[in-house]
Homo-oligomer: A and B are copies of this chain.
Amino acid sequence: MNVEYVNPFLSSLVNVLGTMANTTIVPGQPRLKKDEQARGEVSGLIGMIGPTTKGSFSVTFEESLALEIMSRMLGERPDSINEEVTDMVGEITNMVTGGAKRILGEKGHEFSMATPVVVSGKGHTITHKTTGAKILMPFDSDFGKVFIEVSFDE
């Protein structure tokens, strides 16, 4: 997998958080995920199936950032990660993947999206079980970190 597949997810996340939550995030260095683990408190995951490949995407938020986005999108700030926050993370997962799907589709890489699944739990980690490279992209913000990971079968 090359960066052509990853950049649409990156720009889609920046765009979704900027427009929906007025939140600026700063991309760090994308890297191949080996031992490194992205830890966070709430993650959205989604499966993707195309005619020639399949894969998965995840976005993992630190709690502080998830709660700040919740506050900015919906005007209320829960004390911890509740069902409204997981709903929001599921929606963000759908929007980011949908944005990437549109960009990749224009380049001839079509895929269909499954439904999102949201994981919550302190410091959980995620491993994409594909045969291809696992790309990890960290982002920083004033309120905490967010990570995306994307991988497709070779």
Contact = CB atoms under 8 A, between A and B. Distances in A.
Contact of A45 (B117, B130, B152): B117
Interface stretch (A7-15, A22-30, A46-54, A66-74): A46-54
Given A49-B49, A114-B56, A115-B151, A124 B121 contact: yes
A117 B87 contact: no
Contacts of A48: 47, 114
A129 interface: yes
Contact of A115 (B93, B112, B122, B130): B130
Contact of A127 (B49, B90, B151): B90
B117 A114 contact: no
A51 to B, nearest CB: 10
Given A114-B114, A121-B123, 14 more contacts: A45-B119, A47-B47, A47-B114, A49-B112, A54-B115, A55-B114, A56-B116, A94-B129, A115-B128, A115-B130, A115-B151, A118-B129, A119-B121, A119-B127
